[in-house]
Chain A
Amino acid sequence: MSKNRSILSVLKGDFFSKKESQNYFPFLFLIILLLLLNIRLSFNAESLLKESLKLERQITSLRLTYVNTKSELMKVYKRSEIEGLVKAQGLNSSNNPPRIIDFHE
């Protein structure tokens, strides 16, 4: 009988109204606060992780843009490409060796 009663009292929440239990309230509040803080921090960590992944994607995108642009630059950097571009202006590459000037301080 006493067992049934104790279960019933737990289900009814009677132990909350007891004076001895009320002494534990600050502690309970602290636990609840910590739980809420934990949940909040978890969400925060997840959003940071999402932000980090987004930045990683941006890095990948920028790297691909760099590689792509550099590859395009290499194509136009060829001597024959440059010669082709300036040919219309009557310019071509010289076969005369350069004159080197050494600068001594």
Chain B
Amino acid sequence: MGEDRDVSSRLSSVIASAEEFDRFAAEAMPELLDRATGHTKRFLKETGQWENDIAHEKLALRWGYELIERFLVCGRTEVPCRPLFLLDSLIAKYYSQPDPLCYHKDLLSPLGRFLDGLTSRAVISRDALMALFYHVYGFGQGQVVKILGLGMAESQRVYKNFERWRQSGWQRAVEELGLTKEELRELEEQKERHPERVNAETERLIRLLQSHYRKSEPEHYPCLPRQKWDELFQQDYGYDYRVWHLAMCRDCFVEVCDLQSIEHNGALKPRIDLHIRPRQKGGVVAFFLPEQGGGRRHGTGRAAQRISPTSA
């Protein structure tokens, strides 16, 4: 009890400088996370989107985490302040928006959570954005550069994005999503056993997610008709537009792939083909499943899969 009172008094006391704020944040991180999670739960309950299960609990924790991340950065610029009230106001401001969370019951399954986490990460990370082309369509760096018609400097960046995503981005995203090793393994097994079913479900969910997360694009990034896309590629401008919009809009991407197929005299079919793990270096996608029990490696006859050398 005494400890609780101490924490709450610390949270509501005045913080005078940015350094003090950093010290405070480091000490009171668990309390801050719990408070943000509590607010998220209340929001979900009050909007009739709550159920007492672990998926909802994880969703609340994840959103609480995102809010705390913003609080830790913005709070430094708000000193002197009372951190508790600042956090509450930040959360209230966030949840007072018309559609703050992408909530759908189907997104609480492991597949839904994986796709949701990936797409929401793509909003803030260019690495994840470029990786979307691989995870959803199976396109490698080379194919992405070809389809998006990028210049030299932009292409270099795409390779860099893929590399960084492979090294640390994917792992961090999965950890922040709360997907367990068992869930990932289960997903991979499902994909292996019933690829059509999983891909169909992915297509359904990805449309749902894209329509929500495309709101993070600037307002001047609307869907374009085929003619306009053609013009944009012919006149060689709008790299940012291509990258951000096409990763988040399946219909436009299909249109552009069709256009680029004609341009390059080759078939670029953007079929949904879910990939759980990031593309491995050297064009080999290794499905090394996590170790379990006595350290035995789980795998199947297709543990290592060679992909098209053109995309490497």
- B and A form one assembly: no
